[in-house]
């Protein structure tokens, strides 16, 4: 799906576990290549040079023309999941991976999904006017002109027909719709017009449906990804006035995957839930539109002026209605069980073939998918070629590397979710880390979402990759940007630490806690696999529109493919290090520190939520000390384990008695955070990471407590401490047993 | 001038000195009229009923039709300072005040100021197009149609002609122009296009001039007061596409008043500085324009996309240029020494005629001045009528009440500044408090800027005035809005207090620290008179345009004049209480608490500014403990004084030996905060309150330290402590001597 919102956590940029080179002086390339050259986490000093040489070889293999050729082929046709064009891309990817020396095959998965008929969308009051349900295209771009792209529709959208007055509902989140109610505006039977952004689109439809609306129109406001963010395509990469954001309206934070097989694999003869009984998909019709069409509706809304913060960048005063704008909307969905095609490729490990490092990227697209996801697919293919070259010269990794080209991600992470459900035991036993790239490049700003034990390995890698736009490492670019954004918070947090008598911390970058929206979801949330998602990010104005095509990427976003080459470099170094390290660089001291910090942040947010609340029964109060004590013990255990591992690499004795046992223990730690499932969504089993139930994309870490504060739910807050404590103690026990 | 920006202080909404009734439960009318009826600060319990009866009588006198008739007469013609129409309004006001029983006279003051010739403004590249320098008006509104309003010009603007490429410079503040330099854009010889807002307009021109620009165009972006803030006039009160904000471009934060007589009175035969040698007025031409005209220029700007935060609400992507837009600007200014006319009216005190309570409002306007300032003038007249009725029935106030209808405020606070300079000794000796109303009503939200010793008296009054829009007091409306905006800060500050081991504080409203922009400036900053400025505020989209006329106020802003009546009620109660109180309700415990809080906030901001600064010489470090110790002593002394005053009112002994001596001491305290003058602007002598040198409107309290942090000036920061400490100790000594 390839798009992120800001995390709900208050501490996205502030870092935590120490990596010495980044502390006081920013790391530049010279430093990285110089004094730190002696160290890669998990490697003996004597093995570092050979590892670096392999990584440099892959980087040297990467070529812009290969990347560009892959892109031209993959984006030749729109390739929605399950279509013949999609199958063609699966065959191309399988064939390329095989040619690069990988053991590659296609796995078809039968899933339930919809293709659209031609929708009807017209304003009938105050005047009759049809509204566009297709982009008009650009004459000079063959893809954006002679288009086989589907008309405006939503994946998992409902069939339906409605004629009703319109109400404007801002981003359509729970608070927005409550605000309308407070203004005395009834949504029952009405069509809600909301803008994209802030939360996952399926939750906008869910919220409107639960508020009684009869239909939903979602438009892309130019404030969020249009001209207010930069020049529109083709002058720049912001959204043109006619570009429509297609996308899934599954209730992603409640359950991803095929909604006809919730929690079990979509095998050919699987039991399936009937459409009427399906959870997590809308019952009211919805449609996406471009801002030029939305403007026509907004111009015909009266009623109260929209509340502060609801005004977008259309050149008019936003009103909430209802009406006088009245819309006739008819959607037609062709649902069926259709095959989608994951491509899985392996390079078997020489020493620990049952320990897997897995890399994934989806391949299906709403249109041509140049940025989303094929910028990632060409990166995957180029990485596979580079690593394949190493293998052809006789090298084999210590562990098995598995590459996945997922299908059906756009509809609801179908390929990865169903594959994880079908291979749950193997994944649980084998996969040491999962590294996802969805959109590889939509701009110049490096971003990482992940689980925190991976942070140190990531930062080490970033220190060695040159930023294509500056004469410094990606680590330094990332840190400089993070420091600009996060300096004020960092300074305040240190001041608070002084007041509490705690030591100050140096500024450091960290991964952003995982939410959802792409294929790591089943790995981390359902199966407890350490996961990372990396990208170079910018304003992705072509997102899910017809303009997400070859010309957009090739002319505007990354001409020269320098950022794609940098992403191949980042991804392949990460993969090679996890595949080759003598001890897996999984640092649970980082995880424990994150948990401690997040507990503090949640307590502060609870305190804020209590401000002015006189009724004791409505105040959020809980004794979180048991969770904090548990996390402190985890921190101690992890530090001992990490220290002993380092000593072993320097010639000392192994924790757990052997390298094999140490690695086996490390793989088990994250699984220990899985519990019985979160309230109202038991498929989500992780006690540290989850998407917000009302955000979809953004994570709400320590989800029982974090969500309880957002929901202002005192009982959930009190009851959330114990399952968290237990999960942390299970993880601690794994590490302590291995000391 | 009638417009405010957010204060630079970090604690505008958080309150400080305790007023019990507001602590835990919000005050509503019933409470105010009930259990607190026994108390008015400074009054004996036995005198409260009579005081309330007088106040109620004034309120009962106030009539919408009188207010409306005043407005119709005062706004009949545009009445720029010094014009025949302005003199007519002076004569009307004098005549009315005399008729209401006041001793009223007109004082002419000869001042240096400009009227415009017809300017030339045209785009000459990329295409030739004249740009409008007048509003086009509204056919149904005789004022906004058949207009004698001056064309677009700036008070104290420079003559000049320039043809140059345009650069867009956001709000034109110091940081904005520095950002342009960082982007490699040279302002020398260019015309800078900036938007109104954030800082006083004169400082925009000053900053551009100091950066080498040849001319300045200032436009009103619809994001700041146009359609993005609400429906444009006449549907609502936001700025129409053609409305031009005229205004002064004096460098207000460096020195107000007649620039030909800086620091001394503009007497008929005063020594005057020649135009070439004048400080604080621009040397490069400038002109204001409407957003519809600015859009034509913005559409013709290329170069880099404007930085984050620079995008306004025009429907295009903002670029900074330079060019290709090229502009020809010619301004013609007719400067002369012209008379302006203050109207001064007195009602002599019966017991302490040499203690004055002064109320002021300006009368001159850039156009018709319905909102700015005549909403205040009609309020002043109606208050004068009400108090006059009391006097006609035989009552005289304990102290003298002085009313001032200032002239020339719009050019640079001319009338009030020159009057204060001419009457400095009398003001210093006599004026116990100055209460200013500039714009009385531009909306429904009560706001108060002031010095903190007045806060308790203000809150007591607000508790008795019904909010016209809700069935509660203005105090409660004000608090509810403040709690919504300030809750998060309040909660965080209490958490920080807990961490530091300090007691928590209840949420309370406070006055916003004074900056500048209206006629209290000479009173507080130059002469140390406790000052207050009150208003009901909204989006004042007609501001300084032709649309600031009778229809705008009468049809849109306050039809029925209910908010004007509420303002008469607030202002007259304040005036009557200060004039009648046995002991002046000047609570320096509030001032001391504010100073302590602001010291803390400044230290935190210094800490933030130091974040990431490695060079010790560039870090802001100072030992502020001596200032804190002094403020703590002031707090103690004030509490003792207030306690003893209360005891005296209950029959005990007076502090200072007598009520007269206690009041004499109270009047002296604020004067003690005056020092030798602030760095680079010695006319500003107050050590607690000053406008920011780069904000103009917004205050930067404890200005030596506050400004040093904003400027990141370590030497100024270190050196700022001692003058502050001395000022606080001088004030403390006055109170301690009176114990």
Which DSSP string do the residues of A125-189 spell out, in sequence order?
ESS-EE---S----TT-HHHHS--PPPS-EETPPPEEEEEEEEE-TT--HHHHHHHHHTT---TT
Q: Are A692 and A707 in contact (CB under 8 A)?
A: yes
**pLDDT given at position B143:** 78
Instruction: List CB contacts (< 8 A) between A238 and chain B.
Output: 317
Q: Tell me which of A55, A135, A409, A598 is the catalytic residue.
A: A409
**pLDDT given at position B38:** 63
CB contact under 8 A, A612 and B487: yes
Give the contacts of B20 (CB within 8 A, at least 6 positions apart).
none
Q: How many CB pairs under 8 A join A and B?
A: 73
Closest in A316, A500, A611 to B491, CB measured = A611
CB contact under 8 A, B227 and A314: no
Q: How confident is the model at residue A275 (pLDDT cuts 50, 70, 90)?
A: very high
Q: How confident is the model at residue B462 (pLDDT cuts 50, 70, 90)?
A: very high
Instruction: List CB contacts (< 8 A) between B232 and chain A.
Output: 317
SS3 content of chain B, % helix, strand, coil (to 5): 40, 15, 40
CB contact under 8 A, A612 and B313: no
**pLDDT given at position A24:** 31
CA distance B553 to chain A (A): 20
Q: What is the mean pLDDT of chain B?
A: 94
**pLDDT given at position A9:** 42
| Mean pLDDT computed over B220-237 | 97
Tokens representing B403 are: 């009313």
A34 pLDDT more than 60: no
Q: Are B463 and B36 in contact (CB under 8 A)?
A: yes
pTM value surpassing 0.90: yes
CA–CA distance, B664 with A393 (Å, rounded to integer): 97
| Mean pLDDT computed over A348-375 | 98
Closest in B230, B316, B495 to A305, CB measured = B230
CB contact under 8 A, B607 and A305: no
- Flag the least confident range among A466-475, A489-498, B19-28, B704-713: B19-28
Helix extents (H) in A305-413: 375-392, 409-412
B145 pLDDT more than 80: no
A401 pLDDT more than 50: yes
Closest in A227, A317, A496 to B496, CB measured = A496
CA–CA distance, A588 with A641 (Å, rounded to integer): 9
Q: How confident is the model at residue B111 (pLDDT cuts 50, 70, 90)?
A: very high
CA–CA distance, B226 with B240 (Å, rounded to integer): 7
Domains of chain B in start order, with CATH, are 20-113+337-580 (3.40.630.10), 118-331 (3.50.30.30), 588-738 (1.20.930.40)
Burial class of residue B562 (count of CB atoms within 10 Å of its CB; 0-12, 13-18, 19+): middle
Instruction: List CB contacts (< 8 A) between A316 and chain B.
Output: 227
Instruction: List CB contacts (< 8 A) between A301 and chain B.
Output: none
Instruction: List CB contacts (< 8 A) between B496 and chain A.
Output: 496, 499
Q: How confident is the model at residue A143 (pLDDT cuts 50, 70, 90)?
A: confident
CA distance A290 to chain B (A): 15
Q: Above pLDDT 70, what percent of chain A?
A: 95
CB contact under 8 A, A230 and B317: yes
Say whether the peptide bond before residue A126 is cis (omega within 30 degrees of 0).
yes
**Where on the phi/psi map is residue B154: left (φ > 0), alpha (ψ -120 to 50), or beta?**
beta
Give the contacts of A151 (CB within 8 A, at least 6 positions apart).
A116, A118, A119, A133, A134
- Flag the least confident range among A19-28, A579-588, A614-623, A709-718: A19-28
- Best of B13, B228, B301 to mutate (most A CBs within 10 Å, chain A): B228
Closest in B238, B483, B611 to A612, CB measured = B483
**pLDDT given at position A4:** 53
ipTM exceeds 0.90, yes or no: yes
Q: What is the pLDDT of residues A669-692, one digit of tens each?
A: 999 999 999 999 999 999 999 999
Q: Above pLDDT 70, what percent of chain B?
A: 95
Q: What is the pLDDT of residues B604-652, one digit of tens each?
A: 999 999 999 999 999 999 999 999 999 999 999 999 999 999 999 999 9
B418 pLDDT more than 50: yes
Say whether the peptide bond before residue B324 is cis (omega within 30 degrees of 0).
yes
CA closest to B489 among chain A residues: A608
**pLDDT given at position B36:** 52
Give the contacts of A647 (CB within 8 A, at least 6 positions apart).
A653
CA distance A311 to chain B (A): 7
CA distance B231 to chain A (A): 6
Q: Tell me which of B51, B107, B409, B464 is the catalytic residue.
A: B409
Q: How many residues does chain A have?
A: 739
| Mean pLDDT computed over B691-695 | 95
Tokens representing A210 are: 């639960």
B438 pLDDT more than 60: yes
Q: How confident is the model at residue B146 (pLDDT cuts 50, 70, 90)?
A: low
**pLDDT given at position A734:** 97
Q: What is the pLDDT of residues B14-23, one digit of tens each?
A: 333 333 333 3
Helix (H, G, I), strand (E, B) or coil at A98: helix
- Best of A238, A299, A317 to mutate (most B CBs within 10 Å, chain B): A317
Closest in B230, B487, B492 to A317, CB measured = B230
Closest in B231, B315, B499 to A500, CB measured = B499
Q: How confident is the model at residue A36 (pLDDT cuts 50, 70, 90)?
A: low
CB contact under 8 A, B238 and A492: no
Residue among B248, B176, B243, B256 nearest B208 (CA): B176
Chain A residues with CB within 8 Å of chain B CB: 222, 227-228, 230-232, 236, 238, 305, 311, 313-317, 483, 487-488, 490-492, 495-496, 499-500, 507, 604, 607-608, 610-612
CA closest to A302 among chain B residues: B231
Instruction: Give backbone dihedrals phi and psi of B441, rounded to 5 degrees, phi first.
Output: -140, 115
Helix (H, G, I), strand (E, B) or coil at B194: strand
Place of tokens 């309020």: B379
Instruction: List CB contacts (< 8 A) between A222 and chain B.
Output: 315
**pLDDT given at position B613:** 96
| Mean pLDDT computed over A468-475 | 95
CB contact under 8 A, A236 and B317: yes
CB contact under 8 A, A495 and B222: no
Q: What is the pLDDT of residues B254-312, one digit of tens each?
A: 999 999 999 999 999 999 999 999 999 999 999 999 999 999 999 999 999 999 999 99
A22 pLDDT more than 60: no
Q: How confident is the model at residue B13 (pLDDT cuts 50, 70, 90)?
A: very low
CB contact under 8 A, B612 and A496: no
CA closest to A506 among chain B residues: B612
CA closest to A502 among chain B residues: B499
**pLDDT given at position B138:** 83
CB contact under 8 A, A236 and B305: yes
Q: Above pLDDT 90, what percent of chain A?
A: 92
Instruction: List CB contacts (< 8 A) between A499 and chain B.
Output: 496, 499-500
B7 pLDDT more than 50: no
Closest in B231, B305, B313 to A231, CB measured = B305
| Mean pLDDT computed over B110-125 | 97
Q: What is the pLDDT of residues B369-390, one digit of tens each?
A: 999 999 999 999 999 999 999 9
Residue B409 a catalytic site member: yes
Chain B residues with CB within 8 Å of chain A CB: 222, 227-228, 230-232, 236, 238, 305, 311, 313-317, 483, 487-488, 490-492, 495-496, 499-500, 507, 604, 607-608, 610-612
CB contact under 8 A, B315 and A222: yes
Q: What is the mean pLDDT of chain A?
A: 94
A705 pLDDT more than 70: yes
Instruction: List CB contacts (< 8 A) between B306 and chain A.
Output: none
Q: How confident is the model at residue B697 (pLDDT cuts 50, 70, 90)?
A: confident
Instruction: List CB contacts (< 8 A) between B600 and chain A.
Output: none
Q: Are A194 and A169 in contact (CB under 8 A)?
A: yes
Q: Are A168 and A319 in contact (CB under 8 A)?
A: yes
**pLDDT given at position B148:** 84
| Mean pLDDT computed over A356-366 | 98
Closest in B313, B507, B612 to A487, CB measured = B612
Give the contacts of A587 (CB within 8 A, at least 6 positions apart).
A17, A41, A453, A455, A456, A457, A638, A642
Instruction: List CB contacts (< 8 A) between A487 and chain B.
Output: 608, 611-612
**pLDDT given at position B19:** 31
CB contact under 8 A, A608 and B222: no
Q: Are B271 and B264 in contact (CB under 8 A)?
A: yes
**pLDDT given at position A587:** 98
């Amino acid at each position: 799906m390839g798009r992120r919102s800001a995390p709900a956590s208050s501490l996205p940029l502030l870092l935590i576990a120490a990596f010495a080179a980044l502390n006081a002086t920013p790391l530049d390339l010279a430093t990285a290549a110089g004094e730190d050259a002696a160290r890669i986490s998990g490697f003996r000093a004597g093995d570092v040079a050979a590892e670096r040489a392999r990584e440099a070889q892959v980087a040297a293999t990467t070529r812009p023309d290969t990347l560009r050729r892959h892109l031209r082929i993959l984006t030749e046709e729109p390739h929605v999941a399950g279509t013949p064009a999609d199958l063609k891309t699966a065959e191309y990817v399988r064939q390329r991976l095989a040619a690069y020396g990988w053991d590659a095959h296609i796995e078809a998965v039968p899933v339930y999904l919809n293709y659209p008929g031609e929708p009807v969308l017209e304003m009938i009051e105050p005047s009759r006017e049809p509204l566009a349900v297709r982009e008009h295209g650009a004459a000079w771009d063959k893809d954006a002109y002679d288009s086989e792209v589907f008309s405006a529709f939503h994946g998992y959208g409902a069939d339906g027909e409605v004629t009703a007055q319109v109400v404007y509902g801002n981003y359509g989140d729970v608070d927005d719709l409550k605000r309308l109610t407070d203004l005395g505006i009834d949504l029952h039977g009405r069509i809600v017009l909301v803008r994209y952004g802030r939360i996952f689109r399926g939750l906008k439809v869910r919220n409107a449906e639960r508020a009684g609306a009869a239909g939903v129109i979602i438009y892309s406001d130019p404030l969020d990804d249009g001209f207010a963010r930069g020049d529109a395509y083709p002058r720049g990469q912001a959204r043109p006035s006619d570009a429509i954001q297609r996308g899934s309206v599954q209730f992603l934070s409640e359950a991803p995957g095929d909604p006809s097989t919730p929690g079990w694999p979509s095998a050919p003869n699987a039991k399936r839930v009937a459409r009427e009984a399906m959870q997590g998909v809308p019952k009211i019709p919805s449609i996406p539109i471009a801002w030029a069409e939305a403007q026509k509706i907004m111009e015909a809304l009266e009623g109260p002026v929209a509340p502060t913060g609801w005004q977008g960048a259309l050149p008019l005063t936003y009103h909430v209605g209802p009406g006088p704008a009245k819309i006739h909307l008819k959607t037609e969905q062709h649902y069926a069980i259709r095959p989608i095609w994951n491509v899985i490729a392996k390079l078997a490990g020489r020493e620990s073939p049952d320990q897997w490092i897995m890399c994934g990227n989806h391949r299906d697209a709403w249109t041509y998918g140049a940025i989303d996801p094929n910028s990632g697919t060409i990166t995957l293919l180029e990485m596979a070629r580079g690593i394949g070259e190493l293998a052809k010269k006789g090298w084999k990794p210590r562990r098995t590397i598995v590459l996945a080209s997922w299908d059906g991600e756009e509809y609801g992470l179908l390929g990865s979710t169903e594959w994880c459900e079908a291979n749950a035991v193997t994944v649980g036993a084998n996969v040491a880390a999962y590294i996802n790239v969805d959109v590889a490049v939509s701009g110049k700003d490096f971003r990482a979402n992940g689980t925190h034990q991976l942070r140190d390995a990531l930062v080490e890698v970033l220190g060695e990759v040159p930023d294509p736009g500056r004469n410094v490492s990606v680590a330094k670019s990332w840190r400089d940007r993070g420091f600009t954004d996060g300096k004020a918070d960092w300074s305040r947090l240190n001041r608070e630490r002084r007041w509490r008598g705690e030591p100050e911390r140096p500024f450091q970058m960290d991964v952003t806690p995982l939410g959802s929206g792409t294929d790591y979801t089943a790995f981390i949330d359902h199966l407890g696999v350490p996961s990372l998602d990396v990208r170079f990010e910018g304003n992705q104005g072509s997102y899910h529109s017809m303009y997400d095509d070859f010309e957009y990427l090739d002319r505007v976003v990354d001409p020269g493919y320098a950022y794609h080459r940098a992403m191949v470099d980042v991804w392949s170094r990460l993969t090679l290090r996890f595949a080759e390290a003598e001890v897996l660089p999984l640092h649970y001291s980082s995880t424990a520190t994150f948990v401690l910090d997040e507990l503090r942040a949640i307590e502060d947010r609870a305190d804020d939520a209590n401000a002015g609340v006189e009724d004791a029964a409505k105040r959020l109060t809980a004794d979180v000390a048991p969770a904090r004590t548990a996390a402190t013990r985890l921190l101690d255990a992890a530090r001992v384990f990490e220290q002993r591992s380092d000593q072993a690499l320097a010639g000392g004795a192994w924790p757990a008695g052997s390298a094999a046992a140490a690695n086996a223990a490390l793989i088990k730690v994250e699984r220990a955070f899985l519990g019985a499932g979160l309230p109202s969504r038991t498929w989500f089993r992780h006690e540290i990471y989850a998407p917000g139930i009302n955000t979809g994309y953004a994570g709400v870490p320590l989800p029982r407590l974090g969500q309880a504060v957002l929901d202002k739910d005192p009982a959930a807050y009190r009851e959330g401490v114990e399952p968290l404590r237990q999960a942390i103690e299970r993880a601690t026990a794994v590490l302590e047993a291995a000391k």
